[in-house]
Amino acid sequence: MLRSIWRVLVFVLGLAIGLAAAYQLWVFGHVWWWVEHNPDSTAFMDDRLRTLRAKNPQAQLRHQWLSYARISAHLKRAVVAAEDAKFLDHEGFDWEAIQQAHEKNLKHKRVVAGGSTISQQLAKNLFLSGSRSPWRKGQEALITLMLEKMMSKRRILEIYLNVIEWGNGVFGADAAARHYFGISASQLTAEQAARLASMVPNPRFYDRNRHAPWLAAKTRLILGRMNAAAIP
């Protein structure tokens, strides 16, 4: 009887390890493919589309890929200045920012800061749900390492700018520029770029509240930091 139980346990453990390994290979294969090919969608985009279609079966996301060379340098600098000032220097994780975020969250007794780098945010958007769990954070870290080892910083930033959410059903820099300003992302001015970058942490809220005082203040702050932001 005891031997039978052990056999079942060993089988279940082996199956779990096999499934986990298969998933990691699946993720690795996608990252490898995206080094040279553009992703058509992401886990986060698919999740948002399901939510929108629950209310409107005909809903579509607004998304148009724009190559790195055609995206305004102002937007690249604004996003790096706002989201990950050490983007070119770290290997996926900004440990100082993570520590600062942890201390701020302890002080406020709730999550008010994340400290995630652009690479970490991209890992989450490409593959993961919005749930918070030790497993998800561990998987995010592993995917971040894959991105950093297999892709150049330029490619990471290119994909990031093309897939992040910028409003209700609005994804990517070009769709955002057209949604808010009626122009391509290649034509964005420094102030427009700073405004878009200031919306990244809470895009659906600022899509509805475009004249929020905090948004204007954050835009001015980012504008002041953009010249110092290093981009690929």
Confidence of residue 132 (pLDDT cuts 50, 70, 90): low
Let me know how long the chain is: 232
What pLDDT sits at residue 92? 87
Smallest CA-to-CA distance from 77 within 14, 157, 159, 165 is with 157
d(CA 84, CA 178): 25
Confidence of residue 110 (pLDDT cuts 50, 70, 90): very low
Q: In degrees, to the nearest 5, what angle opens at C-alpha 180 toward C-alphas 51 and 62?
A: 35
What pLDDT sits at residue 225? 96
User: For residue 72, how many C-alpha atoms fall within 13 Å in the half-sphere facing its CB?
Assistant: 24
Mean pLDDT of 219-223: 97
The sheet that has 165-167: what strands, in order across it? 62-63, 170-171, 165-167
d(CA 173, CA 133): 29
Confidence of residue 6 (pLDDT cuts 50, 70, 90): confident
- Partner residues linked to 167 by β-bridges: 170
d(CA 172, CA 217): 23
User: Which residue in the block uniquely carries the two structure tokens 């659906």?
Assistant: 204
Mean pLDDT of 197-221: 95
Given its phi and psi angles, is residue 115 left (phi above 0), alpha (psi -120 to 50 degrees) or beta?
left
Mean pLDDT of 26-48: 95
Mean pLDDT of 124-148: 85
Mean pLDDT of 40-63: 95
d(CA 189, CA 28): 37
Looking at the predicted structure, is the pLDDT value of residue 19 above 60?
yes
What pLDDT sits at residue 32? 97
Q: Which two tokens stand for residue 80?
A: 């790096």
d(CA 75, CA 197): 7
3-state secondary structure of 35: coil
Mean pLDDT of 148-160: 98
Mean pLDDT of 75-84: 97
Contact 148, 160 (CB under 8 A): no
Looking at mean pLDDT, say which of 7-16, 60-69, 130-139 comes out highest. 60-69
Q: Average per-residue pLDDT in the chain?
A: 89
Residue 188: DSSP 8-state: -
What pLDDT sits at residue 136? 77
What pLDDT sits at residue 112? 42
What pLDDT sits at residue 108? 47
